[in-house]
Amino acid sequence: MRRLVVIIVSAALTLWVVGLLRPAIQQAPKTAGASSPAVPPLEVPKANSGSLSSKSVSAASVSGAMNDPQFGLSSAVEDIISIQSSGDLLYLFEKYTPPAKLAQMTPEQRLAEEQQRRDIMADPDGQERTRRVARMYLSMQGQTPEMNEAGDVATYYQDVSEGPGMPTRRAKLMSLVKIDGKWYIGNKP
């Protein structure tokens, strides 16, 4: 019994450390073809029971909501700004495109989208546009978005002017939609 307690405490400590390291790992840009390592499930004892539960908990599910920036609106905005600023448009596309939209794309469409983003990242003019967009996104930090009634679509706006001395107008900068608890770039389907 004492050995089982030591194993469980060790596993819990490992999950806690993985949870602390996950944000740093998620901030690193993904490379094409790279996949995250699978984390085997951990058997957890039931409360007030001496036997192991049949319920499994993975490290990802334990630390997922706490460490995944997509679960919080402001943390998703900061993550989008960070990724956009790094210029990794492929990673931004993979992480913040709504799953249904990705699922609807044919392999050819997905390859074309990825190639377009590679071309932008390789072109000096494209890199400058990427930095300009990142600077525009910075205006979203600290801004209270306009929310729909259900609270699952957040729209950010920016005041823009056509030139010096010209009146400003409010222009839509970006909408984020909440799907299964995570925020994605886009509008509600």
Asked if 159 and 169 count as a contact pair (C-beta separation under 8 A), the reply is: yes
Beta bridge partners of 172: 157
Closest C-alpha among 53, 56, 55, 78 to residue 68: 78
For every residue of 110-174, which 3-state class applies, written as one string? HHHHHHHHHHHHHCHHHHHHHHHHHHHHHCCCCCCCEECCCCCEEEEEEEEECCCCCCEEEEEEE
**Tokens read off for 72:** 């919080």
Asked if 100 and 189 count as a contact pair (C-beta separation under 8 A), the reply is: yes
Residues 107 and 183 in one domain: yes
Domain count, the chain: 2
- Cα 77–Cα 79–Cα 84 angle in degrees, nearest 5: 95
Residues 107 and 133 in one domain: yes
Residues 129 and 189 in one domain: yes
Give the pLDDT confidence of 81-119 residue by residue, as tens digits. Answer: 999 999 999 999 999 999 999 999 999 999 999 999 999
Parent domain of 24: 1-67
Give the pLDDT confidence of 138-178 residue by residue, as tens digits. Answer: 988 888 999 999 999 999 998 887 788 888 888 898 999 99
Residues 62 and 78 in one domain: no
Please tell me whether the overall predicted TM-score, pTM, comes out greater than 0.85 for this model.
no
